Structure 1
Amino acid sequence: MRPGTRSRIEEILRDYPNLDKYISERYKELRHPYRESDENIGGGKSSKISKPQEQMIITIEADKRLTMLEREKKAIDKCLIMASDDTKTIISELYFRKHPYYKIDGLILNGMVHCSRAQAFRLKHEFLSNLASELGLFDPY
């Protein structure tokens, strides 16, 4: 896996605890957009038929940022469901905590992960590879 791909996946994992907040904020931004007041009141009426509910649904469905956030969340959730308990412990300690207390060696020494050091690194790499392929970021090199 290329270093750029790895760092992008790690960045996505570090954002995972905040994804629900980002998704709800984006929904609010789309539902209540900022509109400048128009001082040019009067004039003709537009022949366009106004359907604000349909426009709102189209706006939400077409929003690329919201779609990407939801896609990232679903991919991480799917990979976590398929992961072993040791893998979940490693990933949550390294990426989901704001200030990680342990690194992989610390997790092994304190008995939080029940595998060898090499196996722990393999589990981490396997999880990152699965997430990369789930997100479509995986490159074969």
Structure 2
Amino acid sequence: MSRKLPVFVYGTLRNGLHNYENILKDQTATENNATSVGSLYAVDHESFPCLVREGRTIIQGEVMYIKEDRYDDILKKLDYLEGYDESNIQESDYVREVTTVTDDKGQDVEVYIYYWNQPRGLGEYITSGCWKTYLKEKRKIPDS
């Protein structure tokens, strides 16, 4: 099985959004704001974001420290949601990789991150690097 690293989330899995509510709510021991670097795009008519490695935009997200006793089950659910299949990476929508992000205390944290793995589907570039900001601008979620 994979190493039990925290997961950096930058889209629909962020706290307060629908996939967080469906998968991660009450399943984490700790959640910290953090940033990564890359390029963020809206895919499939603004339904979800994808992150690509290339780029220098600061990507806003959260590090999710999944509860130890729930880790394997939750990681499987995340892999399924992201269309990631370890045995068929070429056909996976996203690929789960180890990277380092910076948390809100300025500390580097080794995490899993899901990068877009398909040549298709890059939609609108999200200049803010923040999915929540993008949704607010599109009036898909209320200001908080």
TM-score norm. by structure 2 comes to 0.23
Structure having the higher helix fraction is 1
The structure richer in strand per residue is: 2
RCO (CA 8 Å, sep 6+): is it higher in 1 or 2?
1
